[in-house]
Amino acid sequence: MKILGEKSLSSKVIVGLGILFAIISFINLIVISIIMKIITHIFMNYDLQNNIFNLNLFIMFIITGIIALFIIYQFIKIFKNLKKNILFCEDNSKSLNIVSNSCFAISTVYFIIAIYIFVIMNSIVGDLIYYIFAFSLVLGGIFIVSGIGIKILNELYKKAIQYKQENDFTI
């Protein structure tokens, strides 16, 4: 199977990323509606502690969802360049840099939520809090490792672009 060009693997990946973008957009809309419902419950003083806890979790979901959409959009741009047989260009390097920075942003959000959950919400919610805390730490760690890996890949990619430009000048 071809990896580059029309009717290739990169074309199919673009379709898959488009579907994933639509699914995450739909989930973000549902989360926004849930956030609005929780805010109305807070204003009506229904179960204030749980609603504030839920609001914080859903705000975390919406922030990471928006950043995830941004990451997917950057990958769509990269795969469109691959589909056009444009491999070593500055646009791909910029997109990889944005993706790595976005991974760091998501990890920061998860670490902030983990600290918030452990310090503030520990006395309110109970045993479930430890699972959410551990889950937030694990996801934060995964996104840090991903960000570092993509940052390293981007530096290798920049070197490849530099070598390609030098090679083009010698011909």
Question: Up-side HSE of residue 169: CA atoms within 13 Å toward CB?
Answer: 6
Q: Tell me if 79 is assigned to some domain.
A: yes
| pLDDT recorded at residue 123 | 64
Instruction: Indicate the range of 33-47, 85-99, 117-131, 143-157 predicted with least confidence.
Output: 117-131
Band of residue 1 on the pLDDT scale cut at 50, 70, 90: low
For residue 3, being part of any structural domain is answered with no
Indicate the DSSP class of residue 85.
Answer: T
Average pLDDT on 57-68 reads 90
Angle of helix 48-83 versus helix 9-43 axis, rounded to 10: 160
Predicted confidence band of residue 16 (pLDDT cuts 50, 70, 90)? very high
Decide if 62 is inside a domain. yes
Among residues 60, 73, 57, 59, the alpha carbon closest in space to that of 25 is found at: 73
Domain residues for the domain of 16 are: 9-170
How far is it, in rounded angstroms, from Cα 52 to Cα 48? 6
In the chain, how many domains are there? 1
The answer to whether position 2 is within a domain reads no
Side-chain half-sphere exposure of 98, counting CA atoms within 13 A: 18
Which of 75-84, 96-105, 108-117 has the highest mean predicted lDDT (pLDDT)? 96-105
Give the mean model confidence (pLDDT) for residues 119-134: 72
Residue 1 domain flag:
no
Q: What is the 3-state secondary structure (H, E, C) of 98-157?
A: HHHHHHHHHHHHHHHHHHHHHHCCHHHHCCHHHHHHHHHHHHHHHHHHHHHHHHHHHHHH
Is residue 4 one of the residues assigned to a domain? no
Asked if residue 105 belongs to a domain, the reply is yes
- pLDDT of residue 171 exceeding 80: no
Which tokens go with 49? 């502690």
pLDDT on residue 43: 83
Rounded to whole angstroms, the Cα distance separating 93 from 86 reads 12
Q: Does 64 map to a domain?
A: yes
Task: Kindly report, residue by residue over 37-52, the tens digit of the pLDDT.
Answer: 888 888 887 777 777 7
